[in-house]
A and B are shown apart, each in its own frame.
Chain A
Amino acid sequence: MALTSQDIARIANLARLELQPAESERMLTQLNGFFDIVEKMRAVDTTGLEPLAHPVAAIQEVALRLRDDIASEPNQREANQQSAPAVERGLFLVPKVIE
């Protein structure tokens, strides 16, 4: 299996990455080089195996938990917005979304 330049364009769109033509071409070669080493993995018989997400679950039950739904953080709006690219009256500014 080899990726095509259409695949690269489709994935770049999914990933919201603008790629220049030369970059797309390089990406195509590099990703195909990478997927060559992935082929071996696809042939492994994994029938009946559960995927392992938290590695320690290999030996013991690991329950992902939720914390109580109570406000635990102080309001730090200014500190949180100090590194934002565009802020006005405490709101994040984005380009017009709804016409």
Chain B
Amino acid sequence: MTTPALHDLSVAELARQLQKREVSAVEAAQHFLGRIQAAPELGAFVALNEEATLAQARAADERIAAGQARALDGVPIAHKDIFVTKNFPSTAGSKMLAGYQSPFDATVVTRLADAGAVTLGKLNCDEFAMGSANENSAIAPLGFEQPAPVRNPWDSSRVPGGSSGGSAAAVAARLAPAVTGTDTGGSIRQPASFCGITGIKPTYGRASRYGMIAFASSLDQAGPMARSAEDCALLLSAICGPDPDRDSTSLDVPAEDFSRSLNDSVEGLRIGVPAEFFGEGLAPDVRAAVDGALKEYEKLGATLVPISLPRTELSIPVYYIIAPAEASSNLSRFDGVKFGHRAKDYSDLTDMYKKTRAEGFGDEVKRRIMIGAYVLSHGYYDAYYLQAQKIRRMIADDFQQAFKSCDVIAGPVAPTVAWKLGEKSADPVANYLADIFTLPGSLAGLPGMSLPAGFGEGGMPVGLQLIGNYFGESRLLNAAHRFQQATDFHLRRPEGI
């Protein structure tokens, strides 16, 4: 048996080898930096800072040598470029923030660094996390002169999903053992599904939003993406925890060891299967893979329970009212005064705002700002925004009804496998409709994850979505881990990687 390469090790195994000093943090960092630099064609990374990375790695090695190792000491990770970082530019994929240097680190970045993780760099994403294909980035990835879409490691003519597309592609291509992502309407789960990796979004309020460049504040949540549920659990334990002084929506729920119940049996687990997730919009290849995964759970002793989430379809308009409304408010800070882009020529202050924003924002961001400004404007607020917030409560109540008869909910993450680059880019509504299965859980603020469940058309990965009740992350990870002990979909790799 040959020794597996460093990039094939799980986070758990890599952490173990680091702590036993079988490999040093500097070696691990250099190994991954080398891989990243050797594979620029994916467009996954937008920034590296070798000096800062190696300094962090050396510090980890010193702690390990001194017998003061922390949980993730020396484990290389990378951050979606929606988290602000002191040592790397923070752009949110936008021309508006090209070259922006944050004076502080996001809480999630700090917490992972405090756990000993070493930052490799920043990952491409859709502009301000708005997109389902990672085709909306306005920042040139490493090795590119111009902005370029991220490519799916399983088929470079396809999208990786979005908005955490760079994150998902990097993990699938073994450019990092684990990364951070953010999920507003599915931006961790959908790219995880499209790239055949595992990702989890915790309950809204468990991960601090401080330093996460805001898109929709009542929906945005950070979470880890890695190859397995076990690895996600390690990172999620570091990420979650109250941040009362810096995020007013952060919940006073203590940090948790999400690895503790990974190995629990799933015998008797009641899995709710929502009829609305298996309608005619679901592609047959995705359905076949998801059905296969559900059968596997039955073999493991779980019971399938038919449930109904009757407002699944309504979640599309509800989400696409609420999220743009919050975005239009959040993005009003980009005015060309305190940071970011400013237009060169203008006649007065208002003209400066208008030209700065016209130049700095991309098309999708402008569309959402326009939708948001409209639904919040006088005379339309009640009919759109308030109505959407009320239906949001109905959607959350539907889930509570469903959880009376089941412990977790399972279904597809997306109606299809990853589509071809450019296929939907001219039709924004087509992109919105493809979010149908991730939006309900987002609106309800529930934890949700995606785990590899099989393959569909073109040999592309299909993810299984698991949705838990509030604070049910460890149960989700347990269910996912047991599935991964019985299957090997999460161990498969794209050709040539």
Contacts and interface: CB of A to CB of B under 8 A. Distances in A.
Interface in B79-101: 99-101
A30 interface: yes
Contact of B245 (A46, A72, A79): A72
B321 A16 contact: no
Contact of A62 (B251, B386, B428): B251
B374 A11 contact: yes
Interface string A52-80: 11111011001011110000100010011
A95 interface: yes
Contacts of B470: 56, 59
B391 A41 contact: yes
B249 interface: yes
A55 B396 contact: yes
Contacts of B384: 38, 42
B393 to A, nearest CB: 4
Contact of A54 (B103, B249, B400): B249
A17 B337 contact: no
Contacts of B328: 15
Nearest to B339: A83
B348 A14 contact: no
A5 B274 CA distance: 41
Contacts of A21: none
B5 interface: no
Contacts of A58: 393, 396-397, 400, 444-445
B340 interface: yes
Interface in B149-169: none
Contacts of A65: 244, 248
B434 interface: no
Contacts of B245: 67, 72
Given A14-B373, A18-B354, A58-B445, A51 B367 contact: no
B138 to A, nearest CB: 16
Interface hub of B99, B390, B400, B470 (most chain A Cβ within 10 A): B390
Nearest to B397: A58
Nearest to A65: B248
Nearest to A16: B353
Contact of A49 (B336, B370, B394): B394
Nearest to A66: B248
Interface stretch (B115-123, B289-297, B311-319): B311-319
A15 B373 contact: yes
A89 interface: no
A96 B101 CA distance: 27
B387 interface: yes
A52 B369 contact: no
Contacts of A55: 204-205, 218-219, 392, 396, 443-446
B434 to A, nearest CB: 13
Contacts of A17: 354, 357-358, 361, 366, 369-370
A96 B352 CA distance: 11
A3 B196 CA distance: 41
Interface string A25-52: 0010011011011101110101001111
Interface in B479-493: none
Contacts of B429: 30, 33-34, 36-37
A62 B252 CA distance: 10
B101 A83 contact: yes
A17 B331 CA distance: 12
A55 B336 CA distance: 33
Nearest to A41: B317
B310 to A, nearest CB: 11
Contacts of B353: 16
A43 to B, nearest CB: 10
A83 B340 contact: yes
Nearest to A67: B245
A52 B390 contact: yes
A14 B376 CA distance: 10
Contact of A12 (B101, B370, B387, B390): B370
B350 interface: yes
A86 B392 CA distance: 42
Nearest to B376: A14
A46 B387 contact: yes
A11 B377 contact: yes
A18 B204 CA distance: 35
Nearest to A52: B393
A4 B372 CA distance: 17
B342 interface: yes
Contacts of A76: 103
A97 B314 CA distance: 45
Nearest to B369: A15
Contacts of A80: 103, 338
A55 B444 CA distance: 5
Contact of A56 (B204, B244, B387): B204
For the complex of A and B, the 9 pairs showing the least CB-CB separation, nearest first, are A55-B445, A51-B389, A85-B342, A58-B396, A79-B103, A46-B390, A52-B393, A18-B354, A18-B358
Given A54-B204, A55-B443, A85-B342, 14 more contacts: A11-B370, A11-B373, A12-B370, A16-B332, A40-B314, A42-B387, A49-B393, A55-B218, A56-B203, A64-B248, A79-B103, A83-B99, A83-B101, A84-B338
14 contacts: A19-B366, A34-B371, A34-B428, A34-B432, A41-B317, A49-B394, A55-B445, A56-B470, A58-B393, A59-B400, A85-B340, A95-B348, A95-B349, A96-B349
